[in-house]
Amino acid sequence: MINEVLRVFRELEKKDFRILTGIETGMKHFEWVPVEDLNKYTKLPYAKLEYRLKKLVRSNLVVRTFQPYEGYQIYFEGYDALALNTFVKRKSINAIGDEVGVGKESVIFEAVKEPELAIGDPIPVIIKFHREGRTSFKQVRRVRDHLGEREHFSWIYAARLAAQREYGIMTTLYPKVSIPKPIDQNRHAIVMELAKGSILSKTKVLDPEWYLDEILRQVKLTYSLGIIHADLSEYNIFVAEDCVQLIDWPQYVTPAHPHADELLERDVSNVLNHFYKKYGTKRDLEEVLREIKSEWKPEAGDKAGKEIAGEAGEEIGTETETETDFEEDIKDDFEEDFEEDMQG
């Protein structure tokens, strides 16, 4: 998938990205964006537009249909190209490497960005591409609170909103909670620093008591800020010589969530079960949960949680990001690319 994007990325020109952004914009209103509308979006002469569309189809960045009319879609390859182009323009990355992780709803690649000072070394980072809409839209909506009760959305909307949500909570938690530093977000992708160390599930630690205490301390700190990870296990905890880091935050909830206690208990149980099975380290679940909640201040916490939720797009009974907001985001992307193209 993304290897194809990388293969053709250097060959793409500003007008190609303008066309991709035009299709992205049009997909808010059409399943297949009519070529006539692309002509209006891009303001390219029809002959030039047709030539470049054929090129994008051959590069597998765009899909075309002729029934019942000539129309176009982008899929993840085209969306990846748009996000990468923005990251390069912002200097959030300057090279991308190998795939380092893949899941049901994301794929992760290593990358590097230039140092802030010219004399420094390149900074290793990762890019996480959300893939929430890759399978069934109905399934995605059923298991993701942040999609709310919206009747209409596309895979673009699902993936983009998940990335915005995760990046929002990461920028709120960092550096108070031990997580990788968030660097940038565009569309369905997030640039962040590498997690320190190695994944807990594949690591044998020398002092399990210390690492268990430190993980639980981070869970307690997160809870005191009005946040529950809601998907915590040995598969999204990294351990290094002197620290732990918690990753993968798109499913977080606040204590106001109707299943908050169940989700917190599941997070803690997953961690305790891992340490008990692998190291024989045993803790009482109820005692641990009481300790985690001991510094929780409902009034301050609820307020903080609502503020965080508002920033990151969680739906907890208040108005959050709407489809209109989403459309404005895409419009901003299009206008930014269009203005740059006109200046170039």
* Best CA proximity match to 226, nearest among 307, 132, 162, 167: 307
- The Cα 264–Cα 165 span in angstroms is 19
Residue 34 identity (one-letter amino acid): P
* Best CA proximity match to 81, nearest among 7, 132, 28, 27: 7
Helix 208-224 vs helix 260-279: crossing angle, to nearest 10: 170
E strand or H helix at 69: none
Q: Judge contact between 256 and 305, C-beta under 8 A.
A: yes
98 catalytic per annotation = no
* Best CA proximity match to 156, nearest among 337, 344, 327, 341: 327
- The Cα 254–Cα 273 span in angstroms is 24
* Residue 144, CA distances (Å) to 148, 150, 182, 255 in order: 8, 12, 22, 17
* Residue 14, CA distances (Å) to 35, 231, 334, 340 in order: 19, 40, 12, 8
- DSSP states of 7-58: HHHTT--HHHHHHHHHHHHHTTT-SSEEHHHHHHHH---HHHHHHHHHHHHH
Catalytic residue (choose from 231, 302, 329, 341): 231
Helix (H/G/I), strand (E/B), else coil: 228: strand
* Best CA proximity match to 254, nearest among 325, 171, 326, 169: 169
Enumerate the active-site residues.
231
